[in-house]
Amino acid sequence: MSADEIEFGASIKTSDLVERIGDFNIKEEQRKTSTMIALPDYEVVMDEINTKELGPQVLNFQFSDSEIPDAKKEIRIVDTTAPVIELRRSEITMSLEEYQKTDLLQEATVTDICSMSKDIQVTGEVSEEAKPGKDLDYTITAMDEAGNESTAVIRVRILEEKNEEDKADDDKEEAAEEKQVETSPVPAESSKQPAESPVPVQPAAPVTPVPQQVVPNPPASTPQTPRPSNKTYMFSDGYTMQTAPSACQADLSASGSSGSCIPIQDSQGIYKGMQLIFDD
């Protein structure tokens, strides 16, 4: 066989792995199905590979010629794809007090092609001690069940603390603003009795106002970001189980939209690639 280890989730046929049987080099047209090879004098039937289950698998090969004994071959399904870490923010500015209260792991979303989220180990480590006015790197590490690791870094900027003079100036400004509000002059009340008797005014003929049409302002339209188009990463286009998930996750992260990377299978359950589907 051409490989003893198969990547988890790979779309592969057992017959494609068989390169030679006895003295015969297998030709492509002799691979009749995913589990059968037809040679001039006999046929070979074999087990299907389950690439969605990690660990060793024993494949049985049965020959239509009764004089040829059945054979077995052990392969192993492995996971060599590291988890994908997506950050809400790659740079954060905060005070030292805010930093001490913030769980920066909440800024990361971690996914993996094989391991469940609850089974992925996610840890955070800071490059140096946090101090006012310092920039430090907070490194997030994710490890899946197979031991594959990936990292992402958040740059944290700690604000400078105000000195006593700055705090005193701020207190003075606040006090001045409060005093200004309290001492604002109250407008004097108008005299109830006029100083002189009013001169009678002859009432003018009533004027009927001409009604004017009021045109309401159109409601402000809220721009909406169009949903990106879904994408596919087919093995027939050159992608593999190593590159398709990584390319899908990279496009999803770059789009700024929410979505999912979903494996594509044909009617026989054979994986053909990945599909990026954005949420509505």
Cβ atoms of 104 and 32 within 8 Å: the answer is no
Per-residue pLDDT of the chain (280 residues; tens, 9 = 90+): 777 899 999 999 999 999 988 888 999 999 999 999 999 999 999 999 999 989 999 999 999 998 999 999 999 999 999 999 999 999 999 999 999 999 999 999 999 998 888 899 999 999 889 899 999 999 999 999 999 999 999 999 999 987 655 555 666 777 777 767 666 555 555 444 444 545 444 444 444 444 444 344 545 554 566 778 898 989 888 888 888 888 888 988 888 888 889 888 888 778 888 898 888 7
**Which has the closest alpha carbon to 142: 59, 62, 86?**
86
Residue tagged 């930093």 (tokens): 99
Dihedral (Cα; 45, 51, 53, 58), 10-degree rounding: 30
